[in-house]
Structure 1
Amino acid sequence: MTDAIHHLIEQYGLIAVFLGCVAEGESAAILGGFFAHQHVFILWQAFLAAALGAFIGDTFFFTLGRSFADHPSVLRLKARPGFSHAYRLVSSHPNIFVLSNRYIYGMRLVGGIAAGFADITVTRFVILNAISSLVWAALFSTVGYVFGLGAERIVGQALARHERLLIALAIGLIVAILAWLVARSVARKERVKDARET
């Protein structure tokens, strides 16, 4: 069973890191770094998959906001909590917003849409998004790699391969739960703020 899981991660792990980073994927980037430490794949591969996923994800949402503003799906995203706040930020501080938006969990999706609605050129967005994606991927892949090193030192060299995989999956689950709780808290605060403003 664990050999089959290990084989699947070797075969499709980088694709999973890429797809996870297209969405709100800190946990995917961290797991990529962790598996790189476990020699399932090479660190630069995990970094590249995370950076490409992050870049393509944000560019996709920017394009939706810019070119498909009247589409029902975009209008639903525009109605989500946090959009009005994201739009104000990107309108007043476009460079800072594009560089930092992906670090605010729960704002990345609406932030990309808001950037598409804002008065920011495509070239400017692409350059800033590329810089932000590279820094973000390096940061979270390194966190995963360093955590793997720390876990190995704490638990010792006696860990079997399948135990490492289970630890990595547990880390991913913990990060995802913490990120969900933070996103829920931010969304609640945004709803309260939007209600006060209207």
Structure 2
Amino acid sequence: MTLGASTIVTEELTPIVGGLAASQGELGLKRVMISIALGGWIATTLLYLLGAWRGRWVRRRWPKVGRYMKRALRAVRRRPWRSALAVRFAFGARLLLPLACGAAHLPMWLYFIGSAVSSIVWAVLFTEVGYLFGEAAVTALRRMEHYDQYVAAVLIGIGVVALLIYRQRRQRRRQQSRATDRTAGALGS
């Protein structure tokens, strides 16, 4: 149930981690999918209800959100069914689109069905990605078991080189800053 509750905050990470856990036998795959779909649907439904109840207040309270919400409202009014279906897939607008659907007074039945379909498809898709990735990662780790010390040496080497480059650039910026300060001081005298 924790996976479902965290879906609105962690987005794609939740079903992928749930799928990883299912591939390792820690959780049941169907339970993960159902929990994530239900959690995402409940969260977007609450946002819809907030938009229907206090949509204008949200736009006035947070003017920056209001600008984006006006655009979302236009999209919802043009294509209500597509908007309800896009709720879980609208990257960057997953909080805003349900609010806009509520503020546009999209029929509740239409929104509930569209967002439920969206939540189910999204949960199944990303949980499967996590499940398949989990199996592939375990297989790759088993094959890499004999080479782990080489991988660690390469990673440490890359880290050292990155640190040296960072220090060199920082030192160069300081020298340029000092030279600029000297030039400005000489011109000001």
TM-score scaled by length of structure 2:
0.69
Q: Distance in 2 between matches of 1:140 and 1:34?
A: 11
Structure 2 unaligned blocks of 5 or more: 146-189
User: Equivalent residue for 1:28?
Assistant: 14
User: Equivalent residue for 1:96?
Assistant: 82
CA RMSD of aligned residues (A): 2.1
| Per-residue deviation, residues 120-143 of structure 1 (Å, max 9, x unmatched) | 111111111111110010001111
* 47-56 vs 75-84, which moves further: 75-84
Q: Distance in 2 between matches of 1:78 and 1:98?
A: 24
Give the 3-state SS of the residue equivalent to 1:82 in structure 2: helix
* 84-93 vs 48-57, which moves further: 84-93
- State the 1:105 CA deviation: 2.0
Shift in CA distance, 65/24, structure 1 to aligned 2, threshold 3 Å: farther
- State the 1:74 CA deviation: 6.1
Identity percentage of aligned residues: 29
Q: Does the alignment pair 1:140 with 2:107?
A: no
Shift in CA distance, 46/157, structure 1 to aligned 2, threshold 3 Å: farther
- State the 1:157 CA deviation: 7.6
Give the 3-state SS of the residue equivalent to 2:87 in structure 1: helix
The letter of the residue matching 1:61 is L
- State the 1:90 CA deviation: 0.8
Q: 8 Å contact 2:18–2:32 — kept in the other structure?
A: yes
User: Equivalent residue for 1:106?
Assistant: 92
Q: Distance in 2 between matches of 1:38 and 1:29?
A: 14
The letter of the residue matching 2:104 is A
Shift in CA distance, 111/89, structure 1 to aligned 2, threshold 3 Å: same
Q: Which runs of 4+ in 1 moved over 2 A?
A: 68-71, 73-79
The letter of the residue matching 1:89 is A
* 139-148 vs 78-87, which moves further: 78-87
Shift in CA distance, 118/103, structure 1 to aligned 2, threshold 3 Å: same
- State the 1:149 CA deviation: 1.0
The letter of the residue matching 1:40 is E
Q: 8 Å contact 1:24–1:106 — kept in the other structure?
A: no
Q: How many residues align?
A: 144
Shift in CA distance, 55/78, structure 1 to aligned 2, threshold 3 Å: farther
Q: Distance in 1 between matches of 2:133 and 2:62?
A: 35
User: Equivalent residue for 1:128?
Assistant: 114
- State the 1:101 CA deviation: 3.0
Q: Does the alignment pair 1:116 with 2:99?
A: no
Q: Distance in 1 between matches of 2:111 and 2:123?
A: 18
| Per-residue deviation, residues 175-197 of structure 1 (Å, max 9, x unmatched) | xxxxxxxxxxxxxxxxxxxxxxx
- State the 1:18 CA deviation: 1.1
Give the 3-state SS of the residue equivalent to 2:86 in structure 1: helix
Structure 1 unaligned blocks of 5 or more: 1-13, 160-198
Q: Distance in 1 between matches of 2:4 and 2:128?
A: 16
User: Equivalent residue for 1:8?
Assistant: none
User: Equivalent residue for 1:60?
Assistant: 46
Greater relative contact order structure (CA < 8 Å, 6+ sep): 1
Between structure 1 and structure 2, the one with the greater Rg is: 2
